[in-house]
Amino acid sequence: MRWLALVFGLLIVGLQYPMWLGKGGWLQVRESDRQLAAQRETNAKLKMRNDALDADVRDLKTGTEAIEERARAELGMIRQDEVFFQVQTGGAGVKPAPASRNAPPSAAPRH
Q: What is the DSSP annotation of 70-96?
A: HHHHHH----TT--------TTTT--P
Closest to 84 (Cα-Cα) out of 73, 76, 92: 76
Query: pTM for this one?
Result: 0.48
Q: Is residue 60 predicted with pLDDT exceeding 60?
A: yes
Asked if residue 42 lies in contact with residue 36, where contact means CB atoms within 8 angstroms, the answer is no
Q: Is 110 helix (H, G, I), strand (E, B) or coil?
A: coil
- What DSSP designation does 24 have? T
The domain limits of the chain are 40-76
Q: State phi, psi for 96 to the nearest 5 degrees.
A: -70, 155
- Taking only the tens place, the pLDDT of each residue in 14-48 is 887 777 777 777 888 888 999 999 999 999 999 99
